[in-house]
Structure 1
C-alpha cells in the first residue's frame, strides 16, 4: 500500500540551487581559471619535460665532455708538437670535438620526440594539447635553444682555451668574422642538425631507427666517398665529399676538408633548407597519422 503513494520531489543541493551561469551545473563556478591556451604553455610543458628526464643530463654531459675534453687534448698535443700552428688560426682545433659531440645532440634530438612514442606518453601529451603542430613546434623551440646554448658555451670555452695555450707559438689571431663563424656559426649548425634529428624522430617514431639513420647521414657520405676509386665515379665522389656534414662543419673553422663546394655561411643555409623540408614532412604526417 505504501508503494502506491506518490514520491515527494527531493530538494536540490544548496550548491546547485544557488544562482549562477556559465557552467555545467547552474550556480557552480570553478575556482580554476579558464584561459585560452597558446604556444607559451606548450613551451613551458616541453621545458619541464626536457629538463626533468635523465637522458637530457647524460647526453648533454657527454657532449660537453667530448667537446671540451677532446679540445683540451688537441690543444695540449699541438702546443707540445713541432712544428706548431705558426701563422694559422687555432680555432680549427675544435673541429674534432664538435664532430664527435654532435652525435650526442643527434641522440637527444631523436629522443625528444621518438621516446614519447616508445613509452606511450605521446597520448597524454596530445590529450593535454590537441593541437599537434603546436606540440611539435614547442619541442623544436625548446630543443633548439638548449642545443644552441650548450654548443655555444662549449665551443667558445675551447676557442678561448686554445688561444691561451698557443698564444706564444706565433698563431694568427682570428678576425671578428672567424670568431663569429667558429662559435655562433658552429652552434647554429649543430643545433639545426639536432632539429633535423628531432623531425626524423617524429617521422620514424622509433628511437633506435632514427638515431641510426641520422648517424648514417652524418658519416656514410664521407665514408662512401673515400672508397670510390673509379674515375667514372669521380663526380659522385666529389659531391659526397664536399656536401658531407663533416666537410660542411669544417667550413666554419676556415679549414674546409674539400677545395670546392660550400663556403662561407653556405652550410648553414643548406642545413636550414633540409631541416625545413623535414619539418614540413613531420607536420604533415603528424596530422594524418594516429598517435
Structure 2
C-alpha cells in the first residue's frame, strides 16, 4: 500500500506582459489627442445634419423662398401689368421674409432642443469648455444657414431676371445682385444665429421661438396701430428699424424714407448678434447645465 504524497505547492501565475515592472510608469496604448475647436465643429456638424428637424425646417424654408418667389414671378409675368422699370429682383422679398421664420426656428432648436432632451449634459461632458461648444454651434449653424439661403435666393434671382426683364423689369446692377443674394443671405443667417443664442439663453424651444417671432413681427404690427399724431415719431421708428423693413432695404424697396440704407441693416444685425453672443456666453459659464 503506497503512502500518500504531500500536496505540491501552487506556483503563482505569471504577471501579464502589459503589467509594468515595479517602479515603472504605465503608458496607455490609446493615443492621447489634445482636443481643439475642430473636434467640436465636427461634433456639432454631425448632430445638426443627423436630426430630422434640420431636414424638415430647411425643406420648408426652401419651399417658401423658392416657391413663393417663383409663384409671384409667374403671376406677374402672366398678367398684363408691367413691372414699371423697377429692378426684377424686388419680388423675392416675400419669400425671404416668410422663410426667415424657419431659419430662426432652426437656430432655436440647435441649442434649446439639447436642454429639453438632456443631451447638453453629454455635450458638456465631452467638451467641458463651454465657450468652445457655443462657438462651434454658432459657426456650424451660420455656415449652413448662409449656404442654404444663398442657393435659394440665387435661384429665385436668376428666375426673376430671366422672366421679368421681358415685362418691363430693369436689369439689376452688380451691386443689386450682390445685396439680393449675398447680403440677404448674411442677414438671414445672422437672424437665425440670433435665434440660436436666444435658445441658449432661454433653454426652452417654445419660449425662444415665440420670442424670436415677436422680435420679427411685433414692431411692425405695433406700428400699424399707432394712429395718434403724438406717437408719429414712435411709429416711424418702429417702421424704420423693424426686421421686415431691414430685409426690404436689400431689395431697394424700403418701407421708410429715412433710416438705414445700403448695407446698414447688416451691420446693425451683426452688432446686435455680437452683443447677445457675449450675454449668452456669460450665462453659459455661470449657470449649471
Q: Same fold by TM-score, threshold 0.5 exceeded?
A: yes
1:155 corresponds in structure 2 to 153
2:59 corresponds in structure 1 to 61
Change (3 A) 1:288 1:152: same
The correspondence of residues 137-286 of structure 1 with structure 2, limited to 5 A, is 137-286=135-284
Change (3 A) 1:262 1:168: same
For 2:170 and 2:152, the matched residues in 1 are separated by 22
Q: Measure how far apart 1:167 and its partner are.
A: 2.5
For 1:186 and 1:19, the matched residues in 2 are separated by 67
1:126 corresponds in structure 2 to 124
Identify the match of residue 15 of structure 1 among 15, 18, 22: 18
1:5 corresponds in structure 2 to none
**Deviates most, 50-59 or 76-85:** 76-85
Q: Name the SS of the counterpart of 2:106 in structure 1.
A: helix
Q: Name the SS of the counterpart of 2:261 in structure 1.
A: coil
Q: Measure how far apart 1:10 and its partner are.
A: 7.2
> Which structure 1 residue ranges, 4+ long, deviate > 2 Å from structure 2?
8-14, 17-22
Identify the match of residue 43 of structure 2 among 42, 45, 48: 45
Unaligned runs of 5+ in 2: 1-10
**Deviates most, 120-129 or 253-262:** 253-262
For 1:279 and 1:288, the matched residues in 2 are separated by 14
For 1:108 and 1:245, the matched residues in 2 are separated by 18
8 Å Cα contact 2:88-2:165 kept in structure 1: no
Q: Measure how far apart 1:204 and its partner are.
A: 0.3
Q: Measure how far apart 1:166 and its partner are.
A: 1.4
Q: Name the SS of the counterpart of 2:158 in structure 1.
A: helix
Q: CA RMSD in A?
A: 1.7
**Deviates most, 231-240 or 79-88:** 79-88
2:8 corresponds in structure 1 to none
For 1:104 and 1:33, the matched residues in 2 are separated by 43
Q: Name the SS of the counterpart of 2:18 in structure 1.
A: helix
Unaligned runs of 5+ in 1: 1-7
Q: Name the SS of the counterpart of 1:229 in structure 2.
A: coil
Q: Measure how far apart 1:20 and its partner are.
A: 9.7
Which TM-score applies when normalising by structure 2? 0.93
